Amino acid sequence: MTTWTPASMPDLTGRSAVVTGANSGIGLPTALELARHGAHVVVAARDPAKGAGAVRLIRREVPDARVESGLLDLADLASVRSFAAGVREVDLLVNNAGVGLIPKGLTKDGFETHFGTNHLGHFALTGLLLPLLAARPGARVVTVSSDAYAAGRIDFDDLGLERGYGRMAAYARSKLANLLFALELQRRADRAGVDLKSVATHPGTTATNIVKVGPLQPLVRLLLKPPAAGAVPLLYAATSPDVRGGEYFGPKARLLRIARVAQSEELAARLWEVSAELTGVRFEQLTGR
């Protein structure tokens, strides 16, 4: 396919987008381009000052941008519920924010930090916003995974990783959960007859705040793609008319093959039910209850 760029994006006037982690990394250029093409954008950030700073930056680039910030801490389900309650309409949800390769820790609700933030926080947010998404024709949910997912393993008897913690193992597990969730969301939306496209992306090795390698960090960042390049698959998945639900896009907006572990409908269904139990978010529009 011809290399796709954000210049190919359609006019998004009248559409509303929520981008998590939009104050930095690939989230910021994602929010910027959505605003540049006419969307009303909510910059969801856990730090109010950084969220406000991102809004100012976007308005410097796009003076007439319809953009605002919102407080969202994905590691705190009360914050997720509070944020979702303040959203009035949304056509596009970009589940981008995340943590990676950090020491063992717990979210406010007691979940292992990678799993609780990257997966459970976004699972809950998507479910809480689903009534609004389902009311908008052509709504989309784009969830950021990573090629690290292929190394991920989910042991439902040890979600806290008490039997052994490794930073990469925890990160890979959370990214597998992201991809399993994105695919299962599409399957359930299809069965329920909900007009929704759920798409996953892998931004590639990108210089974002998730890359922390001590004194070598400046050198390593020079070898990585800039955040704007990492945002390309997100923007393609979010706006291209050629995208189908259940697809997975990587660098340069290329369609990626999905490894067998993420294709397991049994694993995805169990993860969904466990996530619903842990978060208390049930996706009623997809269950008929």
- The closest of 178, 135, 244 to 21, measured between CA atoms, is 178
Half-sphere exposure (Cβ direction) of 206: Cα atoms closer than 13 Å: 27
Pairing type for strands 40-45 and 66-71 reads parallel
Residue 66 is encoded by which pair of tokens? 């319809």
Q: Is the dihedral of CA 52, 279, 120, 212 positive or negative?
A: positive
Element (H, E) at 159: none
Only one residue has tokens 């189908």, namely: 244
Q: Which spans in 155-242 are helix H?
A: 167-192, 217-222, 227-230, 232-239
165 is catalytic: no
The residue from 149, 165, 171, 248 that is catalytic is 171
Pairing type for strands 248-250 and 40-45 reads unpaired
Catalytic residues: 171
